[in-house]
Structure 1
Amino acid sequence: MSSDNKTLLLVDGSSYLYRAFHAMPDLRVSPGDPDSPATGAIRGMINMMQKLRKDVRADYAVCVFDAKGPTFRDALYPEYKAQRSAMPDDLRSQVEPIHEVVRLLGWKVLAVPGVEADDVIGTLACMASRQGIAVIISSGDKDLSQLVDEHITVIDTMNDRRRDLAGVEAEFGVPPRLMVDYQTLVGDAVDNVPGVPKVGPKTAVKWLLEYGSLDALVARASEIKGVVGDNLRQSLDWLPKGRALLTIKKDCDLMDYIDGLPAMESIAIGGQQTDALKVFYDKYGFKGLVRQIDSESTSPEMIGGPDGRHAAARSTTSTTALVSSNEPGLFDGPVFLQTPLADRATNLQYDTIVTWQDFDKWLAKIEAAELVAVDTETTSLDEMRAQIVGLSFSVTPGEAAYIPLTHDYPDAPVQLPRDEVLARLKPWLENRSKPKLGQHVKYDRHVFANFGIEVQGYVHDTMLESYVLEAHKPHGLASLAERHLGRSGINYEDLCGKGVNQIKFNQVDIAKAAEYSCEDSDQTLDVHRVLWPQIEASEKLRFIYELEIKSSETLYRIERNGVLIDAPTLAKQSGELGVRILQLEADAHELAGQLFNLGSPKQIGEIFFAKLGLPIVKKTPSGAPSTDEEVLEKLAEDYPLPAKILEHRGLSKLKGTYTDKLAQLANPKTGRVHTHYAQAVAITGRLSSNDPNLQNIPVKTAEGRRVREAFVAPPGCVIASADYSQIELRIMAHISGDTTLSLAFHDRMDVHRATAAEVFGVATDQVSSEQRRYAKVINFGLIYGMSSFGLARNLGIDTKAAAAYIDKYFQRYPGVKRYMDATRQLAKSQGYVETVFGRRLYLPEINSPNGPRRGAAERAAINAPMQGTAADLIKLSMNKVQQVLDSEHRGTKMIMQVHDELVFEVPEAEVEWVRTEIPRLMAGVADLKVPLLAEIGFGPNWEKAH
């Protein structure tokens, strides 16, 4: 065999092991025992390496890992990769076993001190390329694109991306020979290598195509105009070092690690060491892999289940698929299937229903199923206006059906009539005893409600399962499928396009739509089968998950109710704000002594620092004086122009975001605005409101508070606002167990006045208003982990005095200090903290080597349990209140949830009932060590109800 038809396969092992670890982070030798050694990365690595070897024919193969210790880049630039988090302990413990098992699988393993895995890959790739050997590099790292030539190709199997000569240029806009120049200009944030400030991919591509190379660009840097030209010229001294950091070495000395170079025989791909593998698999609890070796008669296609079906993606773009089974003894936890997806596609049954006979057959299936995954395809992401295009169902792994209903394109096949299909499905959909599953079920509830169907029986939501288990990670179905199943599916944009050319789903070919929608339902069912057992095994997580499921239904009701908007009031406010904004602009021009754009940081900077000589508070990364919000607020303390600009910005945002827009967002028939509450966003459990955002109306200003006057009650009703009093301080008293702080709440004291008395050593009736203000800042500041520097800045005092106040506070409240110290340590040891009710709040940066990031994570560790517990309490409250409203058939409607506040639309006849019962219900949802207190107000609009 000549070298022309031989292949070298190089694997970026460091990239692989992280992917394997994040795919199965909780797999252990003893499932369910957190102290048992972690094995998820090992198991994932085995399956990915086996799959890659099966899919890519190679004569030579090397798996390359980063070696321990610094590299030449660290000596060149000490800040290189400085912001990267340390490797998790559970992954670190698996690195050596991974090296061992990869060798046993027949691969040469390399980890060369002093250089990175990329440099070893670059050296081997170029060595082989010079000999005419084809090289395939398997990695998701875009940096390796600089190695691509006519012999070297990079494949990213997880994302179905092929980076050959054409692929690199199509993806990045420049050929591989210019990739180092491109990377040098844009920098690498992941590795902490700066580029040219304000130069992104578009500018870098434009320059390189125009000038031909970075060297040619540097030689003509004086020709580049504008701010980016200035930034380029200011970066000229840095660029050589940046390029050196980003250039992959191609001449590493590997003689001590590979014998026989350049013959390459020592890296010829080898056979598996079967006996040693069995010992290894047994040691780490991989019984299924032991049986796989022992049983030559069992084909790979059968490992997914007794009928040959399995929870695998139809997509042929994925390289690995991860499944879980409830069948005893079939799997040892989630495992990667070894069957190529192209082969497995024949085992999947995805039906398209266009006849009543097929419809009746599937209706019988879902009627008899223990759990059905349901997915809707619609015309819009706006759930209140979305029209149904089709529906899909999945009842068992690998089996799903799609019912096209309103696809509308030339030559579209005849479809079953939408209204009749929905009418026949309605009894099942509205049957609470028929368990249903979805991904983001609140959206689907709205879609069905648009057609008069109130779906009952949603018992699971994979988005919320993910949110409860791993709040700090993405919760979209594509991310979940890739992370937990190793599956990648059809992308929405592959079907519909993107941007101005994007078509609606009803114009998608039915065959493609069916494949896409069936895959969604199938994946949803599979993801649930992986995530639910983990939640079910933990009493705390199960409580939080059930809370989220109930909250989803309550939020659906709140969103459906909407809130009535007074459009004339908003129009009047917009007019008044417009006049005030113009006056502020004129005032600013007068103070500056010239006309300028109040929205231009460049012009503001020139006026502040060049013309007026204002002090420079801080600088941008490029070294220019900053004019950001923080700087304006600081300068506004002493100078009138920054104060005018700040006020102008605030009022302009208020006008553009609320007074101009709210009425436009209202339903033209009802005059009501229907916000969307996102559950799976904040890691603390707090809700996020958008379209429109009703939680960020700036109520600290008079103009912001006036916006709430436009949220009104209809005739015969009033608005009621109920919120918890000092909820986070009460939670602090409960969590810390501090006797003095708890006593203040039990005695119904003004807690800020009580704190002032403790800190300043005076009787409570002698506390001045200024002392109470100081105490309030201290109380809330310490909850958020405020330092003495931050406290000094907030109070306008020196740092030494602020530190003395904090010391005195901790002397009087020692339980709070113990809580803070213990929580920091707990967070560092386990990577997360918990709310009172068991919600896990993950802190990925808690052990970061980067000081500021670690400090921010430590502050979050202290505050997150309080914010998270407050979020849990308001969800418990709204669920309880909605349950009572329904059971007593009340006319009162819950119309908003804003942080710790519930807002109601109350018939006048129910005002007294609401005044008594709502605070009582809210205060009674949990039994803390201190009493909960909810207060309520009423008025014709939201503002007057406060």
Structure 2
Amino acid sequence: MSEKILLIDGHSILNRAFYGLPDLTNSEGLHTGAVYGFLNIILRILEEEKPKYLTVAFDLHAPTFRHKIYEAYKGTRKPMPQELREQVPLIKEMLQAMGVEIVSKEGYEADDLLGTLARQSEAKGMDVTILSGDRDLLQLATEKVMIRLPKTVRGKTTIEDYHAQQVIEKYQVTPAQVIELKALMGDSADNIPGIPGVGEKTATKLIVEYGSIENAYQHVEEIKPNKARESLREHYNLAQLSKTLATINTESPVDFSYEKARLGDLYTKEAFALCKRLDFKNLLARFDQTMSQELTEVKEFFTCEDLSGCEALFEKAGKQKVVGTALLSDKEEVYGLGLAITEQEIYYIPVANFITGPYLCGKIADLALNTRICAIDIKTMLKHVNLEEEHQVFDAGVAAYLLNPLKSTYTCEDLAREYEGGKMIPSREELLGKASFRKAWEEDQEGLSSYACYTAETVLSCMEPLKQALEETGMWKVYTQIELPLIFTLDSMEKTGIQVKGEELKAYGDRLAVRIHELEQAIYQQAGEEFNINSPKQLGVVLFEKMGIKGGKKTKTGYSTAADVLEKLAEQQPIIKDILEYRQLAKLKSTYADGLAGMIDKDGRIHSTFNQTITATGRISSTEPNLQNIPVRMELGRLIRKVFVPEDGCVFLDADYSQIELRVLAHMSGDQTLIQAYQQAQDIHRLTASQVFHVPFDQVTPLQRRNAKAVNFGIVYGISSFGLSQDLSITRKEAADYIQKYFETYPKIKEFLDDLVETAREKGYASTMYGRRRPVPELKSSNFMQRSFGERVAMNSPIQGTAADIIKIAMNRVYKRLKSEGKKSRLVLQVHDELLIETRKEELTQVARILEEEMKGAASLQVELEVDMHEGSSWYEAK
């Protein structure tokens, strides 16, 4: 059996992976999708081919002979997208880490090198496989040389294989004649011009008949159709140029060693470290399980299981300025503590013998009076440890979030890698698998000990680098004055929860069920048959085929029944209106009426989780359950707020900022027209309508005001003319005209928004008024849609982010004030720009004053912050 060599066209496969697969970024913000796709493709090919030798060829940036010819004819070749360019050195680094031989040669393209190596290897009697996305390489196919062409469609990669016979069967020409085809029809992907008016079908016919462009030219008068004849006569020189460009040089002067190309173990320590750095978690499973342990910096951890030793440890910790902690707990219990007294002295203290959870939590609280406590998630610790804002704490997770708010998680292994010079520590999954802390405490104390100690050591080591990074980026004040106090505010809200009337929730669900059934019957009656309303496929067939409703959008899987498609047809079609209502009510029932019932705690209250490290803009989000997403557009949706009630002796006091984002826009842009309108307490939407539609202020119609309101708020979100036209059901030209007139009315706003985009493009991030940063990598994208998205982000992040900062400041101030003045009333809920206080009836006047003073005083703007306040015996009444 012959030896086999696998030759890979590096740029071609990287390019194929880049365009065929979704883009990925790692925790450092590096684009990695093409590298990940490249590795998956070649690992699959290696498993199939099992070659003895492996080599990857890359183009160099220096212009090749063919580049120069092409540029002389047609100008500069299309530049590589920046996101792809960034990944070229990454894939080379990865291949080198895997011990893969890489070849390049100045003045020669990768396919010249591949052609040369293919012919050399074939001459040695080897079987050759060439992996490339470039069909030019088909000219190299023989019985010993196979060309493999990957094709990626919607994330799925298939591969076409060609020996010489398969080329003839597919293209009706020999491999050598592929060059002739390209000479006639060209190839834009490979910058081969071809001749005008000759496509693949005509080119194939000519080469099958005449064999070459030279022979075809000698018989030019016989050629049909006329268009092809005239084109070859007039552009024969261009055909010859194209042939030169399409011909691969199989005698390139390439230095090559088969010994260096010999395939060894790809799964090296260096490759493992790089896969981990690039967040290629799926690839890590291919490596030896001991690899992580070998690469991890091993520290000596200690376990303390006796009470007297534990006392001594806390006494020693109390003499330090800073210690690292990792409290292992769930909602109910504490299982142990990781304690890093110094970076060399790290202990695990399990709950065992006379060491209890309450004992450990009490010791942490005492320690934090004089020693700073570092942790990855202080809010989780607060569920068991009685810490106050005056205690000294540092939350590494919140700090890391501020520095990179685009990530979805902030783990200790990420912190170690990013803030300890690429240091690697094992992840929770590597140490504990999927086991909970309780299960690990019962069955795997060794794994739990390692996890606790690594976590405690990492948060201690990372505190200074994180602090320094926050100071360098100007976000130390955001961290210390907004985010750190917010931890205690949110913890109080989570512990307090909000009371729910279970019986009313059930009655609400029953009411929804009745209406849902009515809608089902109405839909069946109008359709003339029963079908699964929740099946998009069945629904599409009923609406657009059986009922013949016009305006349906056909997709590969059937008709689209997405909300935006149906909403455009709802006014003319009663059945669609019913379907949209059915969907809304079905979601209300499953998510809220049924879903909330299972989340009512023993105290009759729902304790939602408020997240401060989720959104890129800085907004707080709510989960388990999400109380910020309760529908308010339809009355039946709003009615669910009736089930949320204050405890006996209390009422709800609800305060909502009025048009906070528009007020922030007025202040940050400095637009005097908008500022004066707010200062004179004018109706902003009416004023905008008056200016945009050129009608007197007192003659503005409700429709004009409604449209102006959409423009006002759309501008805050960087809306496009297309988006506005969809919102208002007007033409794109009308929408563009509205936006243009808006900017003529408020000229400083246009200037301000343009400046935001340019600043973000220059710096790579957008900033709020308080200095919170939001990276905008999309602005450098070569993709128009991505760049447009980046521009919208650059425009709206400073405004939305500033509004989010202000509401956080207000929350902190309200919470602190209620506490300092000894009030029993409690902040229970935050929904975007709204705060809900469960207020003791006897404290109503004072709490209303506190709410108004602290919310209005949260920021000093050129326009006053206005607050709408209401009270009620349910959230529905208060709102």
Which residue of 359, 373, 377 maps to 2:324? Answer: 373
Letter in 2 for 1:403: I
- Native 8 Å contact 2:757 2:794 kept in 1: yes
Q: 1:68-217 residue pairs with structure 2 within 5 A?
A: 68=61, 86-87=82-83, 110=104, 187=153, 189=155
Residue of structure 1 in register with 2:299 after alignment: 348
CA contact (8 A) 2:817 2:850 kept: no
Amino acid at match of 1:437: C
Distance across 2 between alignment mates of 1:783 and 1:432: 44
Q: How far did residue 253 of structure 1 move?
A: 7.4
> What's the C-alpha RMSD, in Å, of the aligned pairs?
4.9
Please say if residues 719 and 906 of structure 1, whose CA atoms lie closer than 8 Å, have aligned partners that are also in contact.
yes
Q: CA deviation at 1:800?
A: 3.0
CA 1:618–1:194: 2 relative to 1, 3 Å = farther
Deviation at 1:801, TM superposition (A): 2.8
Residue aligning to 2:199:
none
Q: 2:395 aligns with which of 461, 477, 480?
A: 461
Letter in 2 for 1:572: A
* Residue 789 of structure 2 corresponds to residue 856 of structure 1: yes
**1:110 Cα offset (Å):** 3.7
Q: Distance in 2 between matches of 1:759 and 1:321?
A: 55
Aligned to 2:589: 655
When residues 518 and 455 of structure 1 are mapped into structure 2, their CA distance, relative to the original with a 3 A threshold, is farther
Report deviation, 1:642. Answer: 1.9
Please tell me whether residue 389 in structure 1 is matched to residue 335 in structure 2.
Answer: yes
Q: CA deviation at 1:9?
A: 15
Decide which of 552, 564, 571 is 2:506's aligned counterpart: 571
Q: 2:451 maps to which residue?
A: 516
**What's the CA shift for 1:483?**
3.9
Aligned to 1:590: 525
Q: How does 1:630-641 map to 2 (within 5 A)?
A: 630-641=564-575
2:496 to 561, 567, 572: 561
Distance 2:707 2:430 in 1: 57
1:406-425 to 2 correspondence within 5 Å?
Answer: 415-419=353-357, 421-422=359-360, 425=363
Provide the C-alpha distance between the structure 1 equivalents of 2:522 and 2:57, rounded to a whole number of angstroms: 64
Distance 1:257 1:444, change over 3 A: farther
Contact kept, 8 Å, 1:563 with 1:672, in 2: the verdict is yes
Aligned residue in 1 for 2:769: 836
Aligned residues: 716
Q: Does 2:452 match 1:506?
A: no
Change over 3 Å in CA distance of 1:561–1:111 after alignment to 2: farther
Q: Spell out, residue by residue over 1:469-501, the C-alpha distance to the aligned partner (whole angstroms, 9 max, x if none).
A: 1111344213333444434433434454449x9
Q: What is the rounded CA distance, in whole Å, between the counterparts of 1:942 and 1:772 in structure 2?
A: 29
Question: In the alignment, which residue of structure 2 is the partner of 1:258?
Answer: 254
1:864-879 paired onto structure 2 within 5 Å: 864-879=797-812
Question: Could you say what secondary structure the match of 1:803 adopts?
Answer: helix
Output the CA distance in 2 between the equivalents of 1:594 and 1:635: 21
Distance verdict in 2 for CA 1:23–1:113, change over 3 Å: farther
Deviations 1:867-917 (A, max 9, x none): 111100000101111111121111110001110111100011111112223
Q: Is 2:436 the counterpart of 1:440?
A: no
Q: Which residue identity is paired with 1:402?
A: Y
State which of 686, 700, 703 in structure 2 corresponds to 1:767: 700
Which residue, 471, 478, 493 being the options, matches 1:543?
478
Equivalents in 2 of 1:441, 1:933: separation in Å?
Answer: 33
Kept after mapping to 2: 8 A contact 1:544/1:837: no
Query: Structure 1's 496 and 744: CA in aligned 2 closer, same or farther, altered over 3 A?
Result: same
The residue number in structure 2 matching 1:624 is: 558
Instruction: Find the residue that maps to 2:374 and give its secondary structure.
Output: strand
| SS in structure 1 at match of 2:82 | coil
Asked whether the equivalents of residues 676 and 691 of structure 1 are also in contact (C-alpha less than 8 Å), the reply is: yes
Structure 2: 5+ residue stretches without partners: 31-52, 71-77, 134-147, 160-165, 167-246, 278-290
Structure 1 vs Structure 2: percent identity of aligned residues? 32
Q: What is the alpha-carbon distance in structure 2 between the residues aligned to residue 83 and residue 553 of structure 1?
A: 51
1:118-160, Cα deviation, whole Å (9 max, x unpaired): x979989x979x999xxxxxxxx9x9xxxxxxxxxxxxxxxxx
Q: For the residues of structure 1 that align with 2:702 and 2:348, how far apart are their CA atoms? A: 67
TM-score between the two structures when normalised by the length of structure 1: 0.67
Partner of residue 674 from structure 2, selected from 736, 741, 754: 741
1:612 is displaced (CA, Å) by 1.5
Give the equivalent residue in structure 2 for 1:904: 837
Deviation for aligned residue 1:644 = 1.5
Q: 1:741 to 1:346 in 2, by over 3 A?
A: closer
- Inter-CA distance 764–917: structure 2 relative to 1 (3 Å threshold): farther
Deviations 1:33-82 (A, max 9, x none): xxxxxxxxxxxxxxxxxxxxxxxxxxx9999766459999xx9xxxxxx9
* TM-score (structure 2 length as normaliser): 0.71
- 1:201-245: per-residue Cα shift (whole Å, max 9, x none)? xxxxxxxxxxxxxx9xxxxxxxxxxxxxxxxxxxxxxxxxxxxxx
Aligned to 1:671: 604
How far apart, CA to CA, are the structure 1 residues paired with 2:583 and 2:107? Answer: 54
Contact map agreement 2:405 2:616 (CA 8 A) in 1 = yes
Q: Give 2:218's aligned residue.
A: none
CA distance in 1, matches of 2:476, 2:115: 43
Q: Structure 1, residues 640-691: CA drift from partner, whole Å, max 9, x if none?
A: 22222211111011011111222321111x1111110111111100011000
Distance verdict in 2 for CA 1:644–1:252, change over 3 Å = farther
Partner of 1:359: 310
Q: Report if aligned partners of 2:338, 2:452 keep a CA contact under 8 Å in 1.
A: yes
For the 8 Å contact 1:468–1:541, the answer to whether it is kept is no
Match of 2:828 in 1: 895
Q: Deviation string for 1:571-623 (max 9, x for gaps)? A: 11000101111111111111111110011011111112221122344343x36
Of residues 749, 753, 767 in structure 2, which corresponds to 1:820?
A: 753
Change (3 A) 1:577 1:527: same
Counterpart check, 1:726 vs 2:726: no
* 2:780 alignment partner, SS class: coil
Tell me the equivalent position of 1:203: none
Question: 1:639: how far off?
Answer: 1.3
Structure 1 residue aligned with 2:739, among 797, 803, 806?
806
Change in Cα spacing, 1:316 to 1:797, as seen in structure 2 (3 Å) is closer
